[in-house]
């Protein structure tokens, strides 16, 4: 019956408008946009600069775009592509996790949540691909010298990439369109989700080879065979650190984007049920995002360490040269993110669990710790000071604050912030639950001791770091700090899970009562993650300075300079805003089918009596 009506309605509405929506949902609007750009380009053909194209037969090394500039065009499109790519890879991880939890616990809300987000995938997948195609066209057109060089080494991986992309498309369609069909064969559907993630990761790792090679190329001697050269280029020193960093980063992006989406929908919710649903969704998104956020700095640290190992000069340019101020901006972003994450947890304790009074003193201690750590983290190594101020300080290093501007202090406070956030995470997890296992008290005492010892060890190692050579600090002490914090994370997480497995519920968790400000925090967290991605993407690219391929292929275009930080920040902020607008558009387009379904349901109600009469 429903099927009949659905067909009827599809036929009734399935003219040009339905086709257009379908087309646009699959990223077709971007194809139209690209076509527009192409036509504009053709119109401006006379303005295109082929300055370095010598004669008709010689190959051009660069081409330019008037007003915008080829580098800015590549910059914007590459960042949009990578943000969507992160979204497209992060969301399946998020969806699979939620679907698996739903399968194991029998809680259908998780399955619904996973499905709701997979629906967004179908819309954003095409958008990602379209931006990827524009990026490719721009690279081929504007930077033929670079593209030619990369093709000479990596061409087989281009073929592999294309194959993987087709596979990803097929698996995504099976995963999405087979959701209801495979409801009775959930394991098979979960397997498809796993496959979707694996293929997605393979795509990302393939692309990572190209970009990491640009930053850390290896010697490809003539004595090496073709495939040997290819593997050496792929398996360059920063490939694996970038791979791992991006995997974890995508989990974080998926989680916080879910949180931001839920926050926006919560703000627009009209019914109690909607508020409850989106409040719960925001909680899950924040939970998973935080879970990924905690180990993310360690992956970043590993990447930077490999950069230093690979080339001291590049490391110095990043951490001590012109780009070092970007890390102060990063500290601000991550600091705001950590504060936002914790604030959301505390709001949950106050409003959902209603246990604020019990944890008030802990929250006060945690917020004090976070703010102090934040302050230390964003203290620059050398201050921007006037001549008189510099004279008063005896140099650009502040006599007191200068102590906090060094890596030993910064790494210590980062670890402390991670530990503090983890405590918030655990407190929220345990709220309104009382462990019933016999060893609950022992486990709790063990956790107290573990946290105390970890904090003392992290601080002690940080202080000791001032008295040892840099090489000892970088290679031994910082690694030890990381290992201590990681040990706490991987010990306390399963311990808490086990102790709460058959816990007694001591209070109700009320959904849909979170204040409006908490939802804006969710949006802020999402924006911060996107901004961090744009910033660190720029940092990674700028670390090559005036080289397309560091030390190997010099950038001889007019855009080989490193722009001022303010310009870069304005461009990054603009790109982020563009991304947000497009994502909002996708949310809106994806929401159209919900409206259609509601309409369908109301039509069904109207038509059913007619069916009975017949």
Partner 1 sequence: MYILKVLIFVASILSGFAYIALQIPQEVSMPPQEEKFDAAKVKTVDDIVDIGQKIFFGKGQCALCHALGGGTSGRCPNLGGENPVGIKLTREFEYETYTNPEAYVYIDYTDSPPKRFAARMPEINKPPIGLTEPEMLTVFAFLQKNSGTVEITPEEVIALANPHKKEAGASPAFVAAVEVIPMGDSVSGKAVFEKLECGGCHKIGTLSGGDKGPDLLPALNTKEISVVRSAIFEKSDHHGSYEEKATVKEMKDLLSYLVGLKEVKKGVDGA
Q: Decide if residue 566 touches partner 1 (CB under 8 A).
A: yes
Q: Which of 561, 597, 602, 611 binds partner 1 (CB under 8 A)?
A: 561
Q: Decide if residue 220 touches partner 1 (CB under 8 A).
A: no
Q: Which of 491, 562, 593, 604 binds partner 1 (CB under 8 A)?
A: 562
**Could you tell me where the DSSP H helices lie in 44-143?**
70-105, 108-142
Output the smallest distance, CB 333 to partner 1, in A. Answer: 7
- Choose the binding region for partner 1 from 61-69, 201-209, 223-231, 552-560 (rule: CB under 8 A): 552-560
Output the smallest distance, CB 175 to partner 1, in A. Answer: 30
From residue 608, give the alpha-carbon distance in Å to each of 11, 29, 186, 598, 603.
Answer: 18, 37, 32, 15, 8
CB 288 within 8 A of CB 568: no
- Which helix (DSSP H) or strand (DSSP E) does residue 547 occupy? strand 547-549
Q: What is the CA radius of gyration of the chain?
A: 26
Q: Which of 371, 483, 570, 601 binds partner 1 (CB under 8 A)?
A: 570
| Main-chain phi, psi angles of 554, to 5 degrees | -80, 145
- Which helix (DSSP H) or strand (DSSP E) does residue 553 occupy? strand 553-554
Q: Decide if residue 476 touches partner 1 (CB under 8 A).
A: no
d(C-alpha 442, C-alpha 460), whole Å: 27
Taking CB under 8 A as the criterion, which residues in 231-290 touch partner 1? 264, 267-268
Output the smallest distance, CB 351 to partner 1, in A. Answer: 19
Q: Decide if residue 225 touches partner 1 (CB under 8 A).
A: no
For the four alpha carbons of 315, 299, 197 and 573, in that order, the dihedral sign comes to negative
Q: Which of 28, 178, 237, 563 binds partner 1 (CB under 8 A)?
A: 563
Question: How deeply is 17 buried, as exposed, middle or buried, from its count of CB atoms within 10 A (0-12, 13-18, 19+)?
Answer: exposed
Give helix 28-43 / helix 108-142 axis angle, nearest 10°: 20
d(C-alpha 433, C-alpha 447), whole Å: 17
Q: Which of 569, 589, 596, 607 binds partner 1 (CB under 8 A)?
A: 569
Residue 494-533 contact track with partner 1, rule CB under 8 A, x = bound: --------------------------x--xx--xx--x--
Q: Decide if residue 469 touches partner 1 (CB under 8 A).
A: yes
First to last CA, the chain: 12
Residue 147-186 contact track with partner 1, rule CB under 8 A, x = bound: ----------------------------------------
Q: Decide if residue 541 touches partner 1 (CB under 8 A).
A: no
Output the smallest distance, CB 5 to partner 1, in A. Answer: 32
- Which helix (DSSP H) or strand (DSSP E) does residue 283 occupy? helix 272-293
Look-up of token digits 């956030």:
421
Nearer residue to partner 1 within complex by CB, 317 or 499: 317
Q: Which of 471, 505, 606, 610 binds partner 1 (CB under 8 A)?
A: 471
Total interface residues for partner 1 by CB under 8 A: 60
Nearer residue to partner 1 within complex by CB, 181 or 561: 561
From residue 336, give the alpha-carbon distance in Å to each of 184, 329, 522, 529.
Answer: 44, 11, 12, 10
Q: Decide if residue 397 touches partner 1 (CB under 8 A).
A: yes
Q: Which of 32, 567, 601, 611 binds partner 1 (CB under 8 A)?
A: 567
Taking CB under 8 A as the criterion, which residues in 318-347 touch partner 1? 320-322, 325, 328-329, 332-333
Q: Decide if residue 315 touches partner 1 (CB under 8 A).
A: yes
Question: What are the b/e assignments for 442-457, b being 16+ CB within 10 Å?
Answer: ebeeebeebbeebbeb
Tally of residues, the chain: 614
Q: Which of 36, 395, 515, 591 binds partner 1 (CB under 8 A)?
A: 395
The 3-state secondary structure of 405-459, one letter per residue = HCHHHHHHHHHHHHHHHHHHHHHHHHCCEECCCCCHHHHHHHHHHHHHHHHHHHH
Q: Which of 168, 208, 306, 555 binds partner 1 (CB under 8 A)?
A: 555
Output the smallest distance, CB 546 to partner 1, in A. Answer: 3
Nearer residue to partner 1 within complex by CB, 413 or 521: 521
d(C-alpha 275, C-alpha 598), whole Å: 18
The site for partner 1 (CB under 8 A) is made up of 264, 267-268, 308, 311-317, 320-322, 325, 328-329, 332-333, 384, 394-395, 397, 469-472, 520, 523-524, 527-528, 531, 545-547, 550-552, 554-555, 560-570, 572-574, 576-577, 580-581, 584
């Amino acid at each position: 019956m429903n099927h009949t009506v659905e067909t009827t309605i599809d036929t009734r509405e399935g003219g040009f408008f339905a086709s257009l929506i379908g087309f646009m949902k699959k990223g077709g609007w971007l194809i139209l946009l690209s076509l527009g750009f192409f036509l504009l380009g053709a119109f401006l053909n006379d303005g295109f600069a082929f300055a370095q194209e010598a004669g008709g037969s010689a190959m051009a090394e660069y081409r330019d775009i008037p007003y915008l500039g080829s580098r800015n065009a590549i910059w914007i499109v590459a960042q949009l592509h990578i943000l969507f790519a992160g979204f497209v890879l992060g969301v399946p991880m998020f969806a699979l996790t939620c679907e698996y939890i739903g399968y194991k616990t029998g809680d259908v809300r998780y399955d619904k949540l996973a499905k709701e987000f997979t629906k967004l995938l179908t819309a954003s997948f095409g958008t990602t691909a379209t931006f990827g195609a524009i990026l490719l066209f721009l690279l081929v057109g504007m930077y033929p010298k670079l593209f030619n060089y990369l093709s000479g080494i990596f061409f087989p991986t281009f073929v592999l990439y294309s194959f993987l992309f087709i596979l990803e498309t097929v698996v995504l369609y099976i995963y999405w369109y087979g959701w209801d069909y495979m409801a009775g064969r959930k394991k098979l559907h979960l397997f498809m989700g796993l496959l979707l993630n694996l293929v997605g990761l393979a795509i990302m790792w393939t692309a990572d080879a190209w970009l990491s090679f640009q930053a850390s190329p290896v010697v490809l001697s003539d004595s090496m065979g073709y495939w040997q050269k290819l593997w050496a280029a792929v398996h360059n020193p920063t490939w694996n650190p970038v791979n791992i960093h991006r995997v974890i980063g995508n989990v974080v992006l998926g989680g916080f984007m879910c949180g931001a989406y839920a926050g926006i929908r919560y703000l627009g919710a009209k019914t109690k049920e909607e508020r409850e649903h989106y409040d719960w969704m925001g909680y899950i998104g924040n939970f998973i995002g935080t879970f990924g956020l905690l180990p993310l700095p360690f992956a970043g640290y590993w990447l930077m360490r490999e950069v230093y190992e690979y080339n001291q000069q590049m490391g110095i340019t990043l951490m001590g040269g012109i780009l070092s101020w970007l890390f102060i901006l990063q500290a601000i972003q991550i600091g705001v993110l950590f504060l936002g994450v914790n604030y959301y947890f505390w709001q949950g304790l106050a409003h959902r669990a209603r246990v604020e009074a019990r944890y008030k003193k802990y929250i006060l201690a945690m917020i004090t710790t976070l703010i102090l750590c934040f302050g230390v983290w964003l203290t620059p190594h050398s201050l921007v000071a006037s001549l008189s101020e510099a004279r008063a300080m005896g140099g650009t290093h502040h006599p007191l604050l200068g102590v906090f501007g060094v890596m030993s202090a910064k790494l210590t406070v980062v670890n402390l912030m991670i530990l503090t956030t983890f405590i918030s995470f655990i407190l929220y997890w345990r709220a309104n639950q009382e462990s019933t296992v016999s060893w609950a008290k022992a486990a709790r005492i063990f956790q107290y001791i573990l946290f105390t010892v970890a904090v003392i060890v992290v601080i002690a190692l940080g202080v000791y770091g001032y008295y040892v050579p840099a090489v000892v600090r970088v290679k031994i002490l910082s690694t030890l700090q990381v290992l201590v914090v990681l040990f706490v994370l991987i010990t306390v997480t399963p311990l808490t899970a086990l102790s709460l497995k058959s816990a007694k519920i001591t209070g109700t968790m009320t959904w849909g009562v979170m204040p409006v400000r908490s939802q804006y925090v969710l949006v802020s967290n999402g924006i911060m993650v996107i901004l961090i991605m744009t910033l660190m993407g720029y940092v990674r690219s700028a670390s090559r300075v005036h080289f397309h391929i560091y030390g190997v292929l010099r950038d001889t275009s007019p855009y080989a300079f490193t722009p001022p930080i303010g310009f870069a920040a304005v461009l990054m902020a603009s790109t982020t805003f563009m991304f947000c607008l497009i994502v909002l558009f996708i949310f809106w387009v994806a929401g159209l089918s919900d409206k259609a379904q509601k309409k369908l349901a109301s039509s069904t109600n109207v038509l059913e009596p007619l069916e009975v009469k017949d």
